[in-house]
Amino acid sequence: MPLVSIDKVHKYYGENHVLKGVDLKVEAGEVISIIGRSGSGKSTLLRCINGLESFQEGAIYVGNQAVEDDELKLRLLSRSVGMVFQSFNLFPHKTAAENVMLAPQLVLKKDAEECKALAKKLLEKVGLGDKLDAYPANLSGGQQQRVAIARSLAMSPKVLLCDEITSALDPELVGEVLHVLEQLKEEGMTLILVTHEMNFARDVGDRVVFMHQGKVWETGASDEVFANPQTPELQSFLSVVR
């Protein structure tokens, strides 16, 4: 049974038909890269998976939990689905460690000591063991994004959604964030990445999903899709971005 299963999902923003019957199954441990033009619905799809946006038709399951428009169910869902944003969205009034600790403490009701140890462990894992007490404003973009990843991991999600998490970074800082993703893949984390990093998608991703006009236009194993794009739309997309 797939970990994430998206079934004929339609999403409208008012009159704007943004997702037009998206089908996608993601197995546990898979790394999926979603690519496509601006406006093709990549972010919208990710945001439907964790309930940040509601959709009008179709179904999404994470494990055996259905994604529904219901506060309580969405809060439960948030324990299985983590999300990292392009703009980090760290809490600026809290230190790196406090950012990581907040949710386990409030949502999972773990005690303070346990949360501190967890924060330390996770920040060390993303290479920020020396920045526990730093405030986001005093960290570089790459460091902030790694704190944000640690913050998501603190809830031990089954799948991590990443929406262009390196797009706001200076080029020299992209590598350190991608490196953390590689590490997560090795540990068996399921990742769904919306990305513009084609090399990363090809080398690290297991499977590529090309979205076009609100549909999954073409999908397949990463190396094949990049070497041998089938549809003219993907061919032209790849020729532009490469």
Ligand X SMILES: Nc1ncnc2c1ncn2[C@@H]1O[C@H](COP(=O)(O)OP(=O)(O)OP(=O)(O)O)[C@@H](O)[C@H]1O
Both structure tokens of 135: 């405030």
92, interface contact from ligand X, another protein, Mg ion, none, CB < 5-8 Å by kind: another protein
44, interface contact from Mg ion, ligand X, another protein, none, CB < 5-8 Å by kind: ligand X
Near ligand X by CB under 6 A: residue from 8, 12, 23, 39: 39
213, interface contact from Mg ion, ligand X, another protein, none, CB < 5-8 Å by kind: none
3-state secondary structure of 144: helix
Cα-based angle 9, 218, 45 (whole degrees, multiple of 5): 30
Contact 136, 98 (CB under 8 A): no
Near another protein by CB under 8 A: residue from 89, 183, 213, 219: 89
Between 85 and 210, CB nearer to another protein: 85
Give, as one character, the DSSP assignment of residue 94.
Answer: S
Both structure tokens of 241: 């971005």
CB of 224 to ligand X, least distance (A): 23
Angle between helices 171-186 and 141-153 in degrees, nearest 10 = 20
Q: Per rule CB under 8 A, is residue 196 in the interface with another protein? A: no
Q: Per rule CB under 6 A, is residue 38 in the interface with ligand X? A: yes
Distance CA 173, CA 189 (A): 22
CB of 90 to another protein, least distance (A): 8
Q: Per rule CB under 6 A, is residue 43 in the interface with ligand X? A: yes
Pattern of binders to Mg ion over 89-128, x per CB under 5 A?
A: ----------------------------------------
Q: Which residues contact 67 (CB under 8 A, 6 or more apart)?
A: 48, 49, 50, 51, 59, 60, 61, 73, 74, 77
* CA proximity to 35, closest of 168, 164, 189: 164
Q: Per rule CB under 6 A, is residue 18 in the interface with ligand X? A: yes
Element holding 98 (H helix, E strand): helix 96-106
Near Mg ion by CB under 5 A: residue from 5, 40, 43, 190: 43
How far lies 30's CA from each of 27, 61, 191, 205, 223, in Å?
6, 16, 6, 8, 15
Between 88 and 237, CB nearer to another protein: 88
- Stretch of 39-47, 49-57, 88-96, 154-162 lying at the interface with Mg ion (CB under 5 A): 39-47
Residues 138-157 that bind another protein (CB under 8 A): 151-152, 155
* CA proximity to 198, closest of 230, 234, 146: 234
Contact 82, 157 (CB under 8 A): yes
Interface positions with another protein (CB under 8 A)? 50-52, 74-76, 78-79, 81-83, 85, 87-93, 102-103, 106-107, 151-152, 155
Interface positions with Mg ion (CB under 5 A)? 43
